[in-house]
Amino acid sequence: MKKVSAKLIPFFGLVVVTIFAGCLVSGTFVIDLDIDNTDISTESEFQYFIVDLTDNEDWEDHRDKIEFIDNIGFQLWVENNGASNAGVEFYITRDFSVDIDNAQEVRDNAIRVLSGLTLVSDDNYIDWPTSLGLVENLDSLKSIVLTENDEDTDDGFVIYALTTTLPFEITIDSATVIVTVTASE
Q: pLDDT 10s digit of each residue in the chain, 185 long?
A: 445 444 444 444 444 444 444 444 556 666 655 555 566 655 567 788 777 777 777 777 777 777 778 888 888 888 888 888 888 888 998 877 778 888 899 999 999 999 888 888 889 999 989 999 999 998 888 888 777 655 555 567 888 888 877 777 778 787 788 888 777 76
Taken in order 61, 67, 70, 72, the sign of the CA dihedral is positive
**Distance separating alpha carbons of residues 65 and 93, to the nearest angstrom:** 23
User: Do 74 and 138 form a contact (C-beta atoms < 8 A)?
Assistant: no
Count of Cβ atoms closer than 10 Å to residue 171 Cβ: 16
- Domain segments of the chain as ranges: 26-184
Write down the pLDDT at residue 110.
93
User: Do 169 and 88 form a contact (C-beta atoms < 8 A)?
Assistant: no
Q: Is 24 helix (H, G, I), strand (E, B) or coil?
A: strand
**Distance separating alpha carbons of residues 7 and 170, to the nearest angstrom:** 65
**Distance separating alpha carbons of residues 36 and 30, to the nearest angstrom:** 17
Verify cis geometry, omega within 30 degrees of 0, for the bond prior to 10.
no
Q: Which of 130, 16, 147 is nearest to 78 (CA)?
A: 130
Predicted TM-score (pTM) of this structure: 0.73
Residue 150, phi then psi, degrees to nearest 5: -135, -170
**Distance separating alpha carbons of residues 183 and 164, to the nearest angstrom:** 38
Strand intervals (E) in 22-100: 24-33, 38-41, 46-52, 66-80, 86-93
Taken in order 117, 121, 124, 130, the sign of the CA dihedral is negative
Which CATH number does 26-184 carry? 2.60.120.230
